[in-house]
Chain A
Amino acid sequence: MTAAGTRTYTFQVNGMHCKACVFLSESELAEHPKVVSAKASLRARSVKVSGDFGDRPLDEIARELSAFLSEHSLSATAQGKHVDWDEFGVAVPIAIGCAALFVLLQEIGVVNLVSGDTVTYGTAFLVGVIASLSTCMAIVGGLVLSISATFARLGDRTRPQALFHVGRVASFLVLGGVIGLLGSAFRLNSTGTFVLSLSVALFMLAIGISLLDVFPWASWLQPSMPGFVSRRALVTANLSHTLAPALVGGATFFLPCGFTQAMQLYAVSTGNAVTGALTMLFFALGTLPVLALLSFTSLAVRTAAKQGVFFKSVGLLVILFAVFNVVNSLAAIGVIEPVFNW
């Protein structure tokens, strides 16, 4: 074996969007026996690799190094930062179709399927299922879609999504018990409700725009750890993929959704911690199938071509939901005339 000189190669990194990914990619590439050093750049979506690979062609080296990356792949040729407008040809109809199905569910009066005067755990579960198909989907479902699509784009498809749902179900159980015990709900007044709905809507709007992948300036809209933090400790990045989704999931207890509020009122009226906890638990479990379906759709799209269309469709849908929520919140505090009236 001859000691051929170490050369520097530049590769494009596909799907590297977050600051933590840069450090992760660098440390993963450094594990390759022939790599001397690796320096990734988020701005250029590229990585400079120094190493001794002999005279092998660039794309072969790219394939070999890709095997060392857990969440990204390398390509030898520059992909150029172009906007794939063709993807909107599919994404726009998908988003419009989904929005139309959402309108249809409201029009056929899905909320009228609940009846009965007594609330059993079965009723709570059924109310949960219907809540997840009602206009609450625009707020809770929109939030679920934004979060799961963001993590899916960062390459983390299952864990944060699962933790979101665990956090949500656990908080409904615990807080349901608390309000049952206290005999009073922590209720926001109309200003609090407005501020909360508006913040969630603006968050969704930001994520939606960033998911479209059209505006280069929009990349700062997506939540990320500052580079220096992730560089110091990958643990922090890990935390943001673990703790944050669980906390946000738990916080959905407070989101303004009529069904959730009605269930909470019932839990309060029981004046019993166990009944309150179980009622809210069954309600949360009822909402789980639809919400889980929303957050795990990203598992079905694995190829890069489908991903572009998927993220654009989700982005458009999330933007539509966000606008819907803003219009409704403004109507609720009486700033504008109600636009939707079902």
Chain B
Amino acid sequence: MKSMTPTIVSIAVAAVIVSVVGAIVLTRGGTKAGDTAPTNVSIVGENQIIEISAKGGYSPQNTTAKAGTPTTLKIKTSGTFDCSSALSIPKLGYQIILPPSGETVVDVPPQAAGSTLKGLCSMGMYSFTIRFE
């Protein structure tokens, strides 16, 4: 049937695009910073320092830190102009536009064991989570 041709063509093109994108998303998903390697957490005296970089999202996305410890969050930007520069941490009532390049320090009071702290960009599609144990 002639009238079916555009439908078939558009379904075929969409299927190709979706499978290419799907393949990229899935393969990248494996290497994404889903790890909880505590390399970004260091202890200096009484203080716990957590480093997170902000550019095209937050990295690492998941961090495990010590509960009940005064914590300093260091957020690094380098040529960051995207949404990750518009950071908010709802639990702390904290909201800031990070400078394009530099380091921003956020003081976090000691957190209870088992609690989490989330940071998101203003539009909500980038986030990071810190789990206190």
Task: Mark A residues whose CB is within 8 Å of B.
Answer: 86, 89-90, 92-94, 96-97, 100-101, 103-104, 106-109, 111-112, 114-117, 119, 127, 130-131, 134-136, 139, 187, 189-190, 193, 197, 256-259, 261-266, 269, 309, 325, 327-334, 338, 340-342
Q: Chain A contact residues: over half helix, strand or loop, or mixed?
A: helix
- B16-70 CB contacts (< 8 Å) to partner A: 17-18, 20-22, 24-25, 28, 55-57, 61
The docked-state distance in angstroms from the alpha carbon of A232 to that of B18 is 51
Residue B72 CB within 8 A of the other chain: no
* Cβ A262 vs Cβ B24 within 8 A: no
Residue B71 CB within 8 A of the other chain: no
Count residues on chain B whose CB falls below 8 Å from chain A CBs.
47
* Cβ A262 vs Cβ B124 within 8 A: no
Q: Which of A107, A134, A332 contacts B25 (CB 8 A)?
A: A107
Task: Mark B residues whose CB is within 8 Å of A.
Answer: 3-4, 6-7, 10-11, 13-15, 17-18, 20-22, 24-25, 28, 55-57, 61, 78-86, 88, 90-91, 95, 97, 99-101, 118, 120-127
Task: Report the minimal beta-carbon distance from B94 to chain A, rounded to whole angstroms.
Answer: 10
* Cβ A94 vs Cβ B14 within 8 A: yes
Chain B residues with Cβ under 8 A from A108's Cβ?
24
The docked-state distance in angstroms from the alpha carbon of A93 to that of B15 is 8
Beyond the given A101-B21, A325-B123, A327-B124, could you list 8 further A-B residue pairs with CB under 8 A, ordered by the A residue number?
A97-B13, A100-B21, A117-B79, A135-B123, A258-B122, A261-B97, A332-B120, A332-B124
* Cβ B20 vs Cβ A104 within 8 A: yes
